[in-house]
């Protein structure tokens, strides 16, 4: 069953200790879509400006990603982000950001996409996330991502969104910022009180955790030998997780745990190269092999 994702599509400039890449494709929906496509067909909904090079989307030529929901908006400019990891590979420093088209109205979800049952509202303005969710017919599972910018500037709208979704994905700093709780277990339980049935907290090099009313589950990160560019790792994690969940069509705690492990493995490929280079270099077979290696490493 198809998985629909809405979120940002951007033109990135990224600096890490391994070099600099100017004007590469980025954005939460792009990383998510590529990662999820290893497990299930993906429907991509997003908007770019007239300045976005058409060849950027050639990356999906051999993937099951339907870009019928991609809008090229006349007179607008594409979201741009310039980030630096020169001080700390675990945390991006935003050098410059131009919201451009992301500060405008939400893209329209095509009529033939509106029957999607599995939805991921990738990181973008919470008002736009709500607008797009409202145009879907009968979603079965809705999970959203967010970031510190929206927590700080659109807190009220974000809380409205949380009442309408089943799961929330965010990082540890964002969880603390949203709840004003330092302990992540306490923070996760506070998020549950806001509406979601489960919350997944990404902890960077320390892995991820999932908390629901019944479960607390912690996974370590995959032991990567080399981190070149962490950009998109969290979105790839979410893509791998949601892609697997969609392919299984069941959302039991055990399935969510396996899905998180797949998300962790997929993210380990993302960080190995700039932009989508790491994901483009792998395959579902390689992901499965690494998943079994990862699972074995945690057995005791």
| Whether pTM exceeds 0.75 | yes
DSSP string, 66-79: EEEEEEEETT---E
Domain spanning 3-297, CATH architecture: 3-Layer(aba) Sandwich (3.40)
Helix (H, G, I), strand (E, B) or coil at 282: coil
Contact 166, 196 (CB under 8 A): yes
Give strand pairing partners of 83.
14, 94
Which DSSP helix (H) or strand (E) runs through 163?
none
Give the model's pLDDT for residue 268. Answer: 96
Helices (H), the chain: 28-36, 126-134, 148-153, 155-162, 172-179, 184-193, 233-248, 253-270, 277-280, 284-297
d(CA 278, CA 20): 16
Which parts of the chain have pLDDT scores under 70? 1
Q: Which residues, at least 6 apart from 183, have a Cβ–Cβ distance to it below 8 Å?
A: none
Contact 235, 263 (CB under 8 A): no
């Amino acid at each position: 069953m198809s998985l629909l994702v809405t979120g940002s599509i951007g033109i990135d400039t990224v600096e890490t200790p391994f070099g600099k890449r100017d004007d590469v494709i980025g954005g939460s929906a792009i990383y998510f879509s590529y990662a999820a496509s290893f497990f299930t067909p993906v429907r991509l909904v997003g908007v770019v400006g007239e300045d976005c090079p058409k060849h950027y989307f050639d990356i999906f030529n051999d993937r099951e990603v339907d870009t019928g929901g991609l809008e090229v908006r006349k007179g607008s400019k594409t979201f741009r982000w310039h980030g630096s990891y020169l001080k700390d590979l675990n945390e991006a420093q935003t050098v410059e950001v131009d919201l451009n088209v992301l500060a405008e109205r939400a893209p329209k979800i095509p009529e033939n996409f509106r029957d999607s049952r599995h939805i991921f509202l990738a990181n973008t303005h919470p008002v736009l996330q709500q607008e797009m969710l409202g145009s879907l017919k009968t979603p079965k599972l809705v999970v959203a991502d967010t970031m510190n910018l929206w927590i700080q500037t659109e807190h009220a709208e974000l809380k409205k969104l949380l009442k309408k979704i089943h799961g929330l994905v965010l990082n540890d700093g964002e969880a603390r910022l949203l709840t004003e709780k330092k302990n992540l277990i306490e923070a996760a339980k506070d998020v549950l009180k806001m509406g979601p049935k489960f919350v997944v907290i990404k902890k960077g090099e320390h892995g991820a955790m999932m908390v629901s009313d019944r479960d607390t589950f912690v996974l370590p990160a995959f032991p990567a030998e080399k981190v070149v560019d962490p950009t998109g790792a969290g979105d790839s994690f979410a893509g791998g997780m949601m892609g697997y969940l969609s392919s299984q069509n069941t959302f039991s705690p055990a399935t969510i745990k396996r899905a998180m492990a797949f998300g962790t493995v997929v993210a380990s490929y993302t960080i190995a190269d700039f932009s989508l280079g790491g994901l483009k270099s792998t395959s579902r077979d390689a992901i499965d092999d690494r998943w079994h290696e990862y699972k074995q490493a945690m057995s005791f």
